[in-house]
Amino acid sequence: MSYYFTILSPTDTPIFNIAFGTSKGGGDGIARFRFPDTAQYMNQFIIHSSLDIVEEAQWTNGGMYLKHIDTYPPAAAYISAFLTPSGARFLLLHQPPQLPNSGSGSGLGSSSLLGSSGNLARGSTSSIAANPTSPQTEEAVRQFMTEVYENYVKTAMSPFYKQGMEIRSPVFRTRVNAAGKKWL
Amino acid sequence: MAAPPRHSAMLSVSNAVGTPQSGSSDKSQTAQPPSTPQPTQGLRVPSNRKTIYDRHLNRSRNAELSRASFAYLFAEMVTYAQRRVTGIQDLEKRLNEQGYPLGLRLLDLLFYRTTTTSSSALSSSSTSSSPPNRPLRILTLLHLIHGPLWRLLFGRSADALEHSVSPDTPNEYMITDNDPLVNTYISVPREMNQLNCAAFVAGIIEGVCDGCGFEAKVSAHNQPTEMWPSRTVFLLGFGESVMEREKVLERAGIK
């Protein structure tokens, strides 16, 4: 499983993003997306295109964690969203590893056109990686989001931080990484 | 140890400045996977190695601030805002702007503290489920301001919450505080009797409303009574877009 996590300010400015892989089930924590390394913008493209759905969902669901909200079948990318009360959006794109011959997602035929490398099959045994919409995954993502939220609040409380500024703190990045390792 | 030549002494001084930083950056770099190289060069960690991320947000939850130091600081803020202003309106606008970012922050803090503690501070609002919901309707938002926010700031709820009775202004709501803490130690000169320094609190409310996605203009007005000479009414005027959305949500039956 590979993850791409981004925080968007209320005015849609990306203020933080990070890519990481799963650490569960023997994963080494390195992201292996199905796009070639030169096409990493696809992650951003997919994740930002889900903003429309976030904006629809945010006025019907009062919770902070909106669960899995969007799927992009050609890349088998699943997007979960978390909204802070002050309007920042946390979006997590997760992409299950590509199986070598048979597909599990809906649109794997086209994704093999996008993806190039075939060494993505490992680490697919854990329940989180195997099924991106299972309740276990939702729970793990929720825990991850809550932990990031705690760190985000700490950032926002800093008198030197203004809303909408990029989060540059390496400590914050380490914390997000640790949360990813712990839950995903 | 022999005294080093001058140039090397200077060199060692500059090294000494660099060493603690590079040491700390090495330490934080080992904690990260090598795939994400980080510009940790400029990072300076406090001497006790505790960054803001190591402190717990609930630590000061029940702590109280000295009223004297607050009054002193607030008086300084008013003085600061008063420099080079053109009039009372301008002064109030500046106070409002000082409060606005505070509102945005308090909103996040308030929700964080209610999610992490089981004793829900949001319980006075109509929805008291354990993970608090973001306010979607105006009334939920107003209850949030009237109750939990006021308690977070002043240790008590606000005194009244009213809806404008005039049919021309259905978008106006009023929150009343009989004795606002910010005005307790402020003496307004007679020629400026229009001024209400609770414009600062109005700014906080505006920040909270805006943060939740409710575009609003908030102002503070003096409405003294016999019993409460510094009674203040905060007038919240929500924008057109908010009122339109409110109608849509009402039709959809969302609370």
Closest approach of chain A CAs to the CA of B112, in angstroms? 7
pTM of structure: 0.77
CA dist., res. B124 & res. B130, Å (int): 12
Q: Is pLDDT of B95 > 80?
A: yes
Least confident of A127-131, B120-124, B174-178, B224-228: B120-124
DSSP sequence for A94-113: EEPPPPSSS--STTHHHHHH
What pLDDT is attached to residue B41?
58
What pLDDT is attached to residue B117?
61
Using the Cβ of A58 and the Cβ atoms of chain B, whether some distance falls under 8 Å is answered with yes
Q: What domains can you pick out in chain B, each with its CATH number?
A: 67-252 (3.30.1380.20)
Asked if the Cβ–Cβ distance from B40 to A170 is below 8 Å, we say yes
**Most B CBs within 10 Å: which of A15, A86, A173, as the mutation test of the B interface?**
A86
Q: What are phi and psi of A92, to 5 degrees?
A: -120, 120
Mean local confidence (pLDDT), B189-216: 90
Which residues from A are below 8 Å from B211, CB to CB?
A: 10, 85-87
pLDDT > 70 fraction of chain B, expressed in percent and rounded: 77
CA dist., res. A45 & res. B112, Å (int): 30
CB atoms under 10 Å from CB of B39, counted, come to: 9
A64 vs B35, B134, B213: nearest CB: B134
Work out the angle between the directed axes of helices B67-82 and B88-116 (0-180°, nearest 10).
140
Q: How many CB pairs under 8 A join A and B?
A: 104
CA dist., res. B166 & res. A35, Å (int): 60
Contact A16, A7 (CB under 8 A): yes
Using the Cβ of B73 and the Cβ atoms of chain A, whether some distance falls under 8 Å is answered with no
Q: ipTM of this complex > 0.90?
A: no
B31 vs A84, A172, A174: nearest CB: A174
Sheet holding B172-177, edge to edge: B160-163, B172-177, B232-238, B216-222
Closest approach of chain B CAs to the CA of A165, in angstroms? 13
Tell me the residues of chain B between 209 and 248 that have a Cβ less than 8 Å away from chain A: 211-213, 245
Topology (CATH) of A2-183: Beta-Lactamase (3.30.450)
Residues with Cβ within 8 Å of A87's Cβ and at least 6 positions away in sequence, in order, are A9, A10, B211, B212, B213
Element housing B176 (H / E): strand B172-177
| Residue B189 pLDDT level (bands cut at 50, 70, 90) | confident
CA A26-A32-A33 angle, to 5 degrees, is: 140
| Residue A29 pLDDT level (bands cut at 50, 70, 90) | confident
Mean local confidence (pLDDT), B73-80: 91
List, for residues A137-161, the tens digit of each pLDDT value. Answer: 888 888 899 899 999 999 988 888 8
Mean local confidence (pLDDT), A47-64: 87
| Residue B209 pLDDT level (bands cut at 50, 70, 90) | very high
Contact A141, A1 (CB under 8 A): no
What DSSP character marks residue B196?
A: -
Q: Is pLDDT of B120 > 80?
A: no
What pLDDT is attached to residue B220?
92
What pLDDT is attached to residue B17?
40
Both tokens assigned to B82: 């008063």
What pLDDT is attached to residue A100?
55
Closest approach of chain A CAs to the CA of B114, in angstroms? 12
Q: Is pLDDT of A49 > 70?
A: yes
CA dist., res. A7 & res. A55, Å (int): 15
Asked if the Cβ–Cβ distance from B53 to A172 is below 8 Å, we say yes
Using the Cβ of B131 and the Cβ atoms of chain A, whether some distance falls under 8 Å is answered with yes
Q: Is pLDDT of B118 > 70?
A: no
The neighbouring-strand residues paired with A67 are A81
CA A94-A112-A122 angle, to 5 degrees, is: 55
Which residues from A are below 8 Å from B53, CB to CB?
A: 151, 154, 169, 171-172, 175
Nearest by Cα to B130 from B115, B148, B151, B145: B115
Mean local confidence (pLDDT), A6-10: 92
Asked if the Cβ–Cβ distance from A86 to B33 is below 8 Å, we say no
Q: Is pLDDT of B208 > 90?
A: yes
| Residue A129 pLDDT level (bands cut at 50, 70, 90) | low
What pLDDT is attached to residue B36?
44
